[in-house]
Amino acid sequence: MVGWHDPTTLGTAPRSHLKEESMFSTTKARTRLTGVLAGVAVLALAACSSGGGSTDGSSNDAGGDGGSGDAIVVGFSQVGAESGWRAANTKSIQDTLTAENGFDLKFSDAQQKQENQIQAIRSYIAQGVDVIAFSPVVESGWDAVLEEAKQAGIPVILTDRAVDSEDDTLYESFIGSDFVLEGEMAGEWVSENVATEPINVVELQGTTGAAPAIDRKTGFEDATKDNPNVTIIDSQTGNFTRAEGKTVMEGFLQAHDDIDLVYAHNDDMGLGAIEAIEAAGLVPGEDIKIVTVDAVKDGMQALADGKINFIVECNPLLGPDLADIIKKVVAGEEVEKRIVVKDESFTQEQAIEALPTREY
Ligand code: AHR
C-alpha cells in the first residue's frame, strides 16, 4: 500500500495510490472475435426491447456500431446520484474518460435500481461498445447479464463496488476501496476513543445488499466485538442518502433515549442524522457522537465544526485509474484482477488542516 493520489495528475492515470493484489489469477484481455455471433444476437434482442431514456444506457446511442474513429468506446453504468461521494466519483469518471484522452464515454445513471443497470449493460452490449464499466448497486444477481457481455466478447470492469459472483472470468478487473477495512477503521476508533465506558450505538446502513453496506457493517462489528462496552442497539438502512438518514435517525431518537453514538455508512446519512439530532434539541458530536465513512467536503466541514467525531475516507477519484485499466484491457495487456484503493481517516483536528485543499 503506497502514497496518496495526486489530484493534479487527473487524466494522466497515476498509479501511486493503488495497491495491486494477486488475490485472483491475472488475466489477459480476451479477443472479441469469438463473441461476434453472440453480439449480433444480443443486438437484435436489445433493439427490440430498449426503452430509451437516461437511465438505460441508450441516451448517447450513435446507432449500433458503438461509436466511430479510434476512440475507445466505453459504456459506464453509474449507481445513481445518491451522495456527495457519488457526485465526486461521477465527475472523476466524466472528467477523465474524455475525447481528449481517447475515449467516447456513454454514461448512464441507474437511479439506484439494479434493473436500470441491467438494461443499460444490455444496451451497451447491443451498441457493441469496446468496454463496459459499472459500479453495481447491489452485490448479487449479475451473472446472467455479465455472461451476455462475455458471450459478446465485451470486457467488463467493475469500479467501486463488487459483485458476489463465483465466476471471476465474468469481469476483467475490480478497482475500489476495501470496505471491510473501512468499517474496521471506524470500529477501532470507536472502541479506543469512545467505548472506554459502556456506549449504545445506532447504525445507519447503506443500501441493502450493496457491497459497502455489507462490508462496512461486518468490519465495524469485527472491530468492536471484543469490547464489551460497545452495544449496537439498532441498525437500519438509510440507503446512503441524506434524507433517509435523517428519517431513520428520527425513528431511532423516538425509539431510544439512550443513544451515545451513530455509526453511519456514509457522510450523507451522518449529515441527515445531524439534522435529526439538532431538531430533537441535542448537540451532535457531543450529546451523540457521530462516525461516518467517505470524507467528502460536507462531511469534512461537519467534522471540522465538531458535529461529526471521526471519518474514514473512501476515495471516489477512480477515473484516472479506470482509464488506465481500460487502455490496458483494450491493448491486450495484463491487468490485476483486484486493485485496492488506499483510504485514510480524519479526526476533527485533521479535518481542519485538510479542508482548505480538499478536492472533493
Ligand atoms: O460505494 C461507495 C459508497 O456509495 C459511498 O461510500 C457512498 O457515499 C455511496 O453512496
pLDDT digit string (tens) for 198-217? 999 999 999 999 999 999 99
8 burial class (0-12, 13-18, 19+ CB within 10 angstroms)?
exposed
Q: Does residue 139's CB lie within 6 angstroms of at least one atom of ligand 1?
A: no
Helix residue spans in the chain (DSSP H): 36-49, 84-96, 114-127, 143-151, 179-193, 211-224, 242-255, 267-279, 297-304, 319-330, 348-354
Q: Is the predicted pLDDT of residue 12 greater than 70, yes or no?
A: no
What pTM, to 2 d.p., does this model score?
A: 0.85
224 burial class (0-12, 13-18, 19+ CB within 10 angstroms)?
buried
Q: Is the predicted pLDDT of residue 194 greater than 50, yes or no?
A: yes
Which residues fall within 8 angstroms of residue 64, CB to CB, at 6 or more apart? 43, 126, 127, 128
Average pLDDT over the chain, rounded to whole?
A: 86
Q: Does residue 161's CB lie within 6 angstroms of at least one atom of ligand 1?
A: yes
Residue 284: all three cell numbers together: 451532535
CA distance 181 to 212: 10
CA distance 108 to 95: 15
Q: Does residue 307's CB lie within 6 angstroms of at least one atom of ligand 1?
A: no
pLDDT digit string (tens) for 83-98? 999 999 999 999 999 9
**What is the pLDDT, as a whole number, of residue 57?**
58
What distance in angstroms lies between residue 272's CA and the mean position of ligand 1's atoms? 15
Q: What is the mean pLDDT of residues 268-288?
A: 98
Q: Say if residues 157 and 146 touch (Cβ distance below 8 Å).
A: no
Q: Computed over its alpha carbons, how large is the radius of gyration of the chain?
A: 21
CA distance 103 to 100: 7
Pocket test for ligand 1, best of 86, 112, 135, 204 (most atoms within 8 A of CB): 86
**What is the pLDDT, as a whole number, of residue 202?**
99
Residue 227: all three cell numbers together: 469490547
